[in-house]
Amino acid sequence: MDSTTLQPTTFRTENRPTVAVQRFRQPADIFEALFQSVQGGEAHARPTLELAPESPFLPFLEIGFALRARMEKPEHHDYLLQRLRPHLSVMIGTLPASILPMGMLPKLAPLPGFRELEDISDDEIHHWLIQEGGLIYGEMQRFELENYFDAIKPFLPPGGVMVDLGSGLGKVVMTAALTLPFVRCIGVELLNYRHRLAQERLVRLLTLARQGLAALPGALTLETPLRLPSGVMATGRHLLDLGSRILFLENDMFKVDVRGASLVFLYSTCFGPLMDAISDKLARELPEGALVSTTTYPIKHPAFRLLQSHAPGTLSWTSVMIYQRIGPEMAQPASEARYLHQPDADAWEIRAREDLADMTGGGT
Ligand SMILES: C[S@@+](CC[C@H](N)C(=O)[O-])C[C@H]1O[C@@H](n2cnc3c(N)ncnc32)[C@H](O)[C@@H]1O
């Protein structure tokens, strides 16, 4: 059978009912309590970005404020739509989520010196929209991650380093560290508040692990054989050293070198326009044999061979692709337009006018 079309039929389709762990009788109880502690990130409260002169997001805020100012006044809607129209290929949703009422822009006046939309170039709007789309949050459900690690397990040698680029609240990183015997699992997240939430969750995870280990009837030693949730055999070190096996970095994924990774996880469903840049980076940095998985968007770079492609509704609600870095080092640039989609601009404008009218209580 062609391995790229392999579709295991044993994938879970929903989460098992959650039964709170009352007592730690065996390591499996500790694992269950730890998995339960990392659920629920999708529902987290989204604070707005801080509006301070030293914020690294100042350029992002400036353009967001300029767009939002136009959105708030019906007489400016024509101009707003005219400026957004050339960039539909990189826009997720009808209007950018962060300028909507529940979006990430603070409800404050712009800082002195912030430019108006007329003074912001098309190129700046284009790149703002790409960044804006990437900041949308979403995560896989527990059963989808179980499916994912089942699928990836046969391709992974024991040990190795897992990296999640855009790690959000850290669910995948912590799930990976519990599920498989990675030496290290690293999450890289751009937004400070998400990074902080991941750190808080890690503290909770480690506290719970310590409590569980202390409560076990027989002490787990570094060398005690331990069956991991994935069925892989490891030793007590896996849980005893959990804290040193997980690391969260607050950084831009393009500034972090992933040379040492054996698996790069990308929940790339909102990274469509970034896929070329990400593929080029991974082709430059990853060693031969390293694995990369993506959701929704494929990698189209000759340095990567598709190992498995899982259709939407099988492993996860969206498609999941698993690739392997092949061949010698290469830095072939990707073509600009390969991952861009081009929605029907007239249909978009109708939807956008309806949304704007709903928000501002008037026709546009
Ligand atoms: C869809 S969420 C996925 C979260 C996590 N990987 C998961 O699957 O549970 C994507 C995350 O990538 C982050 N992100 C977007 N652009 C980034 C960048 N350039 N560097 C690091 N993180 C980024 C977003 O803030 C968001 O938290």
Tell me if residue 260 falls in helix, strand or coil: coil
Percent of the chain scoring above 90 in pLDDT: 85
Q: What is the pLDDT of residues 278-306, one digit of tens each?
A: 999 999 999 999 999 999 999 999 999 99
Query: How close is the Cα of 185 to the center of ligand 1, in Å?
Result: 15
Which of 48, 169, 175, 189 to mutate for ligand 1's pocket (most ligand atoms within 8 Å of CB)? Answer: 189
What is each CA distance from 42 to 39, 79, 142, 194, in whole angstroms? Answer: 8, 34, 12, 11
Distance CA 100, CA 136 (A): 13
Q: Are 235 and 225 in contact (CB under 8 A)?
A: yes
In this structure, the residue with its CA closest to atom 9 of ligand 1 is 139
Distance CA 188, CA 173 (A): 10
Higher pLDDT, 136 or 188: 188
Question: Averaged over 110-124, what is the pLDDT?
Answer: 96
Q: What pLDDT shows up at residue 10?
A: 86
Question: Averaged over 116-129, what is the pLDDT?
Answer: 97
Q: What pLDDT shows up at residue 236?
A: 97
Query: How close is the Cα of 25 to the center of ligand 1, in Å?
Result: 36
Question: Averaged over 124-138, what is the pLDDT?
Answer: 94
Q: What pLDDT shows up at residue 327?
A: 83
Percent of the chain scoring above 70 in pLDDT: 93
Q: What is the pLDDT of residues 30-50, one digit of tens each?
A: 999 999 999 988 888 888 999
Q: What is the pLDDT of residues 54-91, one digit of tens each?
A: 999 999 999 999 999 999 999 999 999 999 999 999 99
Q: What pLDDT shows up at residue 42?
A: 84
**Residue 6: pLDDT over 60:** no
What is each CA distance from 81 to 77, 95, 255, 270, 340, in whole angstroms? Answer: 6, 9, 33, 22, 19
Distance CA 278, CA 266 (A): 10
Which residues line ligand 1 at a C-beta cut-off of 6 Å?
134-135, 137-140, 164, 166-168, 171-172, 188-191, 194, 252-254, 267, 270
**Residue 362: pLDDT over 70:** no
Q: Which two tokens stand for residue 104?
A: 């990430």
**Residue 1: pLDDT over 90:** no
What the chain holds in terms of domains, given with CATH numbers, is 3-43+139-325 (3.40.50.150), 58-136+345-360 (no CATH)
In this structure, the residue with its CA closest to atom 27 of ligand 1 is 168
Q: What pLDDT shows up at residue 9?
A: 61
Minimum-distance ligand 1 atom for the alpha carbon of 139: 9
